[in-house]
Amino acid sequence: MRREEAKEHNRQRIVDAARGHFLREGFHNASLGRIADTAGFSTGVVYSQFGGKAELAMTVLCTLYAEETDRVLGLVTGQPEQTVEDWLAAVGDWAEVRVGDPDWGRFELELNGALSGQDKLKDLMSVLYGQIRERVVDLLSARSRDLELHGRSPEAVATLLLAVILGVGLQRTADPAVPARLVTEALRALLLPDRAE
């Protein structure tokens, strides 16, 4: 394995180990020492790869968002015969399982609290949310003939869709009784307002 490949491999091992610790223990309780041990490295190697706990945590958070974005968009792309109703059913099933994950919610809330006021996290989240919105815009634009956007731009709808998922997720983190079906109801109202229940 070449040096760059080895470095990337080591980095990924650290991220994988950190993910488990951050989700089980939260941002505050996870220690770089335990993360390093789980990954099979010294704490010094973790610092050389990430510079510290906050940077590692932000990398894990980006990984979580990227995986979920891939997962949910994978449910509604690649199958041109899928109707918008099929999308809503697939997203509804996904939301029941993934939106409001208490471990992820605690980790993200603790990280936001620990780094509040720091531009680094704000900038990262701005880029991350922007990338997610772009992918949703691409999807909406490709299927615009099937949707009833009523003059709303795909950009506006993508922003609203992300806001609904994040908002319901945050509420479900605090109160699991909040129904995940609200995601589907909001999506129906945005994508098919003439058929909203």
> pLDDT digits over 146-163, tens only?
776 777 888 998 999 999
110-133 mean pLDDT: 88
Residue 145 and residue 138: Cα distance in Å, rounded? Answer: 13
DSSP string, 65-76: HHHHHHHHHHHH
Q: Which residues are within 8 A (CB) of 166 and not within 5 positions of it... i.e. 6 or more apart?
A: none
CATH of 53-195, one of 3.40.50.620, 1.10.357.10, 2.60.420.10, 3.60.20.30: 1.10.357.10
- Cβ(196)–Cβ(112) below 8 Å: no
- Protein fold of 1-51: Arc Repressor Mutant, subunit A (1.10.10)
Q: What is the pLDDT of residue 5?
A: 84
Q: Write out pLDDT tens, residues 75-86.
A: 888 677 788 888
pTM of the model: 0.87
**pLDDT confidence bin for 197, thresholds 50/70/90:** low
18-28 mean pLDDT: 97
Domain with CATH 1.10.357.10 in the chain: 53-195
Q: What is the pLDDT of residue 99?
A: 93
Q: Which residue has the tokens 């809503």?
A: 88
Domain with CATH 1.10.10.60 in the chain: 1-51
In the predicted model, what is the mean pLDDT of the chain? 89
| Pairwise pLDDT comparison (51 vs 1), residue with the higher score | 51
The 10 Å Cβ neighbour count of residue 116 is 9
The 10 Å Cβ neighbour count of residue 65 is 17
Residue 77 and residue 84: Cα distance in Å, rounded? Answer: 11
- Cβ(19)–Cβ(60) below 8 Å: yes
